[in-house]
Chain A
């Protein structure tokens, strides 16, 4: 069996075990309501995790993703309060466009400025936040200033099956993962993300335009952070300068738990989706679990991420040993 397939199965098993465990611990856990809670909460993080995964696959990291999301949520909300008539599709384009623009700045600095991505995006993380502080002038975007369709969006159902409501925001987030997943496995251009992350020197020798691929990864990451920003705006309505803080770490956690190699070159969108849902399920379930106090929750989550990486490293070492034996 392919190591990636095995990894996905292991992740899915971990998710199932988590759900089963909490269903014995928390009353009414396996309910439609919990499905809505977790799915809508994971939906905000998912696009950002997908974007982060693309960047990580190219052997980079995007730490500015949370700030990007905050800036997008604020700017989009701000624009909407002046132009409430803007068509929803255009609003989505606006959000993703702003995100892509920010991603392009990161990408250009990393690709052509030859500055390591961790430095560049650490810089833009702070810069964007400062920009937001300056720009917002301490004004809060409130639901009152947003058009009604946007305020209602988080409650809108795309469809229901067996009494389980699947919200429009969940469908939007999943769509981003599915589209990117298809691209990554089917599009020649997207396969270059893996090539670049797997062996940058070889990529140059193989005639791949390394800077262009890097730029594209950051632009996509920015655009997807824009989508998350849009979902954030719709869901929380109240946007202040702290919007999206800490999401960069959440996205890295989801990506790493989802089996994307932090050293670049490998990973799958199925893994990222399961990783995101797993991290969010644990986070959401722990807040409802009486046995664990507030302070242990973060520690447990941190432990989970470390365990995931350790198990992953151990497993891939065993697998490569196995495959060597076979050959």
Chain B
């Protein structure tokens, strides 16, 4: 693109944001064929997203089809690529993707866009942003870093060693959160006594996460907190600490599902953890996708739209990924023994 082109584009986007100050509202009853494609089928967060997506699709009265399809766990990355390709040949209007295939899927996503199938990511984006119309971010990745750091603060009493138990070494969202947390730790003086000693990966497997958690305890005798930003990892770590009678010494925190975490929160093994609503995430993603597919919004920075019961949202540049755009949902809920029981029902 020439300099002139960039300049024109800037002007256009500025103008459109000025003109579109009023939030765009969806026109219900249009035919949009949608596919919700999670990392893989069979675990609770993605099913909750499906519930939210169905709720939105019903409200929008879309006369097109809505499908919730995904690969099986052992075939996640390859399965996602295959399913996105199939959706493209079926001329689906939009695919909502929680990407687990890293940048490998970018080429297929670009082909989908070229064939007229929009690709909207949610939960986990395409790292390079290539082939992606928009990313519906559950929370600001930077702010997850702050919240994780704050939870460690409150559990350690402000000083001590902690370690991170993540999912896989190539999960885009977890990696981004860990980076954000490291940045916060380095920049804000109030965290100066917190020491991140290690980052290990349990690959979202109970058994591996369990063993890794115990390994951390053995390796770092002064460890005070295990921070697990993954729903599988946090339960496995909490179970490991409980089994070894270490809950007094090492606390577990991170991102978890209230239904799975309730017993560990009540017995003090994992006094505090956070999560956002996956139902809301599915709902918002569906609204965004519908508006995009019907042409009501273009997917440009500055556009504002209304997503039903959740209110107004504005498309912005993604601070974590250059050239990519996001819609920020936020916020998340911090669970502790005061609210976890109600949420687990």
Contacts and interface: CB of A to CB of B under 8 A. Distances in A.
Nearest to B44: A138
A39 B172 CA distance: 35
B73 A129 contact: yes
Interface in A100-138: 125-126, 129-130, 132-133, 136-138
A124 B211 CA distance: 28
B243 A294 contact: no
A33 B240 CA distance: 13
A67 B204 CA distance: 16
Interface string B207-248: 100111011001100000000000010011001000100000
B205 A246 contact: yes
B237 to A, nearest CB: 11
Given A238-B235, A241-B43, A287 B206 contact: no
Contact of B206 (A33, A34, A133, A238): A238
A187 interface: no
A294 B73 contact: no
Given A142-B259, A245-B205, A284-B215, A129 B236 contact: no
Interface in A4-33: 26, 28, 33
Contacts of B207: 41, 44, 232, 235-236
Nearest to A66: B74
Contacts of A242: 42-43, 73, 204-206, 232
Contacts of B312: none
Contact of A142 (B40, B47, B260): B260
A81 interface: no
Contact of B41 (A133, A154, A243, A246): A133
B200 interface: yes
B43 A287 contact: no
A34 B215 CA distance: 10
Contacts of B206: 232, 236, 238-240, 242-243
A245 B42 CA distance: 13
B74 A140 contact: no
A239 B236 CA distance: 10
Given A129-B73, A138-B47, A235 B205 contact: no
A26 B203 CA distance: 24
A222 interface: no
Given A125-B74, A129-B74, A288 B44 contact: no
Contact of B215 (A138, A143, A245, A288): A288
Interface residues of A, number: 43
A138 B46 contact: yes
Interface string B57-95: 000000000000000111100000000000000000000
B214 A37 contact: yes
A222 B114 CA distance: 48
Contact of B169 (A37, A130, A136, A295): A295
Contacts of A232: 206-207
Nearest to A248: B74
Contact of B219 (A129, A240, A241, A290): A290
A235 B206 CA distance: 10
Query: Which secondary structure dominates where chain B touches chain A?
Result: helix
B263 to A, nearest CB: 5
B155 interface: no
A154 B243 contact: yes
B332 interface: no
A235 B169 CA distance: 25
B259 A140 contact: yes
A252 B207 CA distance: 17
The listed residue with most B CB atoms (<10 A of its CB), out of A125, A240, A295, is: A240
Contacts of B260: 140, 142, 238
B205 A287 contact: no
A287 to B, nearest CB: 4
Contacts of A294: 169, 199-201
A144 B44 CA distance: 16
A126 B41 CA distance: 13
A37 B218 contact: yes
A237 B72 contact: no
The listed residue with most B CB atoms (<10 A of its CB), out of A34, A130, A239, is: A130
A26 B217 CA distance: 13
Nearest to A246: B205
Contacts of B210: 235-236
Given A144-B263, A284-B215, A241 B41 contact: yes
A239 B239 CA distance: 12
A250 to B, nearest CB: 9
Contacts of B46: 138
B218 A288 contact: yes
A130 B72 contact: yes
B243 A126 contact: no
A237 B41 contact: no
Contacts of B292: none
A126 B201 contact: no
Closest 9 CB pairs of A and B: A241-B42, A287-B215, A138-B47, A133-B42, A236-B206, A133-B41, A238-B235, A129-B72, A242-B73
28 contacts: A28-B218, A34-B218, A44-B207, A125-B74, A129-B74, A132-B42, A133-B40, A136-B42, A138-B41, A138-B46, A140-B44, A142-B260, A155-B243, A232-B207, A235-B243, A236-B207, A236-B210, A238-B232, A238-B236, A238-B260, A241-B72, A243-B206, A245-B74, A284-B211, A287-B200, A287-B211, A294-B201, A295-B169
Interface of A: 26, 28, 33-34, 37, 41, 44, 67, 125-126, 129-130, 132-133, 136-140, 142-144, 154-155, 232, 235-243, 245-246, 283-284, 287-288, 290, 294-295
